[in-house]
Structure 1
Amino acid sequence: MQPTYSLVIPIYNEEATIPEMYRRVGAVMDGLDGPCELILVNDGSRDRSLALLRDLRDRDPRVCYLSFARNFGHQTAVTAGLNFARGRIVIVLDADLQDPPELIPAMVEQWRAGYQVVYAQRVQRRQESWFKRLTAYGFYRVLRHLADVDIPTDTGDFCLMDRQVVEALNAMPERNRYLRGLRAWAGFRQTAIPFQRDPRFAGEVKYTFRKSLALAIDGLVSFSKVPLRMSTYVGLLSAAIALLMGLLVLYWRLFEPNSPLTGFATIAIAIFFLGAVQLVSIGILGEYIGRIYEEVKGRPLYTLAEVKGFEHQRPTPALHTPPPP
């Protein structure tokens, strides 16, 4: 039977949370008004996560799973789940239970009211450090100010999407995927449901500072050209400062020959300043050029080692089709 609801959950070293996650998600699926499928995407886990997914599949035919040949990352795992999802309504959430599955019925009600995207918006982050809260608060507001599209603040991948939206996302071939940005770019009628984000149920945090920073850079570079313009503006500002300093040095040489400001320190500061500006500008260019390089190679987004529950389905290819020679 074609499912009405598809729940997509990426899994990476989540053996401590899978039993409780399945219990809570299963209870929500039992209360929905149509057939469901639970798509679990094993993102190259090194613990017993895959064995637990196999066991769930044996016990519950609603459970389907994909297992990557290696770790490809959270955004790619969600993308794979969207490629394979068959439901008219697709819900994406994380396995750590920071995204409460009990919020799904309220999302469905908003979908019935005519919204094609219903995203969960965090109003409070429980038991997170002040540094995490501060950096997340700042990033979302900077991104919204700089991005070419209106990306809602304080939102993650926890959302409900209509089939039409999922098809639009599956048609996007880019590799460096910032799904909450792509979701906003796609358009359609969207609304938010506020919620308080719970602490992780068990296990270790998967989005370390380094991974969070990489995701933030992906979001900024994928949806804004402002960093490129900023490097130009900083270069012009540096040129103006250099010209001003040149005039000041000339003045000091002519009228204040004994001034200490005309010595080695002034020259060194100017050299280091201009060198820093050049290196930052080159780094910004490198971020954009690196993404172009990734796109033109045309490799698949992921490789699958094991698939269960989709034996008679041809998924939407998650490939970037290279241009003809």
Structure 2
Amino acid sequence: MAADPAVPTLSIIVPVKDEEDGIAPFVARVAPILDGLLPARDWEILFIDDGSTDTTLPAIDLAHRAEPRVRGLSLSRNFGKEAALSAGLDHARGAAVVPMDVDLQDPPEVLGEMMAKWREGHEVVYGVRRNRRTDSLPKRLTADLYYRAHNYMSSDKIPEHAGDFRLLDRAVVDLIRRMPERNRFMKGMFAWGGFRQAAVEYDRARRTVGKTKFNYWKLWTLALDGITSASTWPLRVWSYIGVVIALLSFVYALYMIVRVVVLGSDVPGYPSLMVAVLFFGGLQLISLGVLGEYIGRILIETKQRPIYVIRHTIGIEEQG
């Protein structure tokens, strides 16, 4: 529990973009649950407006006027959800911090079970979906494939079907804040820290307010960021492919020598030559693309630019 009365026990951080219709329903549903969990009312809800173009920021300001424990940060542009989460972690004051989505698909009623496990001594309590019935079949298949691929290639295992909805102890938050990388994959960063972890299962509801900001391209980009930030396996695999191809080429060369000695020389076929050229050219382009992904991330890291820029605050003094 928080010892300083000015420091809340629990902080809820909520990244939002163009969610003007979701702010009031979120506060109306979550605030009574938090009041029931924390009789001292030592909680806060921190919205991070990630470059909204609608009236999301005025909606946050209106919620703050009605409930001072609702606070807000407005970023100077859309930096992405991972950067918005980082801003929330940097400014959350609670002894425990829970990232949540404003769409309420992750039920706030689960917070009670998370708090109970936290009080038992767990530093990370992550929510796990019992099923993905609310997702389309392609999304279910690709999500399952991604979790398996990530955990196969990376030593930092992430729980399958667990999103950003989780409770983080202040020790975990402080550790993540010390991580300097600009290419951020928060699930991987949560996993890297370790600590004592526990799972809470829940059923995810369908979205009823607003629209998702994640299309398949953004999900693919996030998956690519997750794999390249947590593993060098995509780089290493090309060494193995090169060795296999070299061995096959050597075997084929021996075959050709024996064939010429025994049967004599013949004119090689043009189609087979083109297939070989295009095949190996394609492999080279793929390997260059993988190298380019990592080099691009090195470039971003060397620039040392801020992860996010704050334009405006509501109920909070800007921190360094």
- Smaller-chain TM-score bracket: over 0.9
The 1:45–1:266 alpha-carbon spacing in structure 2 relative to 1, beyond 3 Å, is same
Distance 1:195 1:258 in 2: 70
CA shift for structure 1 position 256: 5.9
Which residue of the partner structure matches residue 229 of structure 1?
236
1:9 aligns with 2:9: no
Deviations 1:157-177 (A, max 9, x none): 100011111000101011111
1:28 aligns with 2:33: yes
1:274 aligns with 2:280: yes
CA shift for structure 1 position 291: 1.0
CA shift for structure 1 position 237: 1.9
Q: What secondary structure is seen at the aligned counterpart in 1 of 2:176? A: helix
Residues 242 and 270, structure 1, Cα contact 8 Å, conserved in 2? no
1:314 aligns with 2:319: yes
CA shift for structure 1 position 252: 5.3
1:171 aligns with 2:178: yes
Distance 1:39 1:69 in 2: 17
Residues 134 and 204, structure 2, Cα contact 8 Å, conserved in 1? no
Which residue of the partner structure matches residue 57 of structure 1?
64
Which residue of the partner structure matches residue 149 of structure 1?
156
Which residue of the partner structure matches residue 320 of structure 1?
none
CA shift for structure 1 position 246: 3.7
TM-score (norm 2): 0.93
**How many residues are treated as equivalent by the alignment?**
313
Q: What secondary structure is seen at the aligned counterpart in 2 of 1:175? A: coil
Which deviates more, 76-85 or 54-63? 54-63
Residues 150 and 157, structure 2, Cα contact 8 Å, conserved in 1? no
Distance 1:135 1:289 in 2: 26
The 1:243–1:162 alpha-carbon spacing in structure 2 relative to 1, beyond 3 Å, is same
Q: Where does 1:249-288 land on structure 2 (aligned, <5 Å)?
A: 249-250=256-257, 262-288=268-294
Q: What secondary structure is seen at the aligned counterpart in 1 of 2:200? A: strand
Deviations 1:108-138 (A, max 9, x none): 0000111010000112123211000000011
Distance 2:124 2:303 in 1: 32
Distance 2:263 2:69 in 1: 84
Which residue of the partner structure matches residue 3 of structure 2?
none
Which residue of the partner structure matches residue 220 of structure 1?
227
Which deviates more, 73-82 or 27-36? 27-36
Q: Which amino acid aligns with 2:119?
A: R
Residues 22 and 103, structure 2, Cα contact 8 Å, conserved in 1? yes
Distance 2:255 2:104 in 1: 61
Distance 1:107 1:74 in 2: 23
Q: Which amino acid aligns with 1:50?
A: L
CA shift for structure 1 position 211: 0.9
Task: Report the identity percentage.
Answer: 40
The 1:266–1:61 alpha-carbon spacing in structure 2 relative to 1, beyond 3 Å, is same
The RMSD of aligned alpha carbons is 1.8
Q: Where does 1:79-158 land on structure 2 (aligned, <5 Å)?
A: 79-158=86-165
Q: What secondary structure is seen at the aligned counterpart in 2 of 1:72? A: coil
The 1:249–1:268 alpha-carbon spacing in structure 2 relative to 1, beyond 3 Å, is farther
Distance 2:22 2:264 in 1: 72
Q: Which structure 2 segments of 5+ residues have no match?
A: 1-5
Q: Which amino acid aligns with 2:202?
A: F
Distance 1:255 1:131 in 2: 54
Which residue of the partner structure matches residue 294 of structure 1?
300
Of the three residues 224, 238, 245, the one matched with 1:238 is: 245
Distance 1:118 1:148 in 2: 20
Which residue of the partner structure matches residue 187 of structure 1?
194
Distance 2:212 2:252 in 1: 49
Residues 44 and 69, structure 2, Cα contact 8 Å, conserved in 1? yes
Distance 1:131 1:246 in 2: 44
Q: What secondary structure is seen at the aligned counterpart in 2 of 1:124? A: coil
Distance 2:270 2:254 in 1: 17
Q: What secondary structure is seen at the aligned counterpart in 2 of 1:222? A: helix
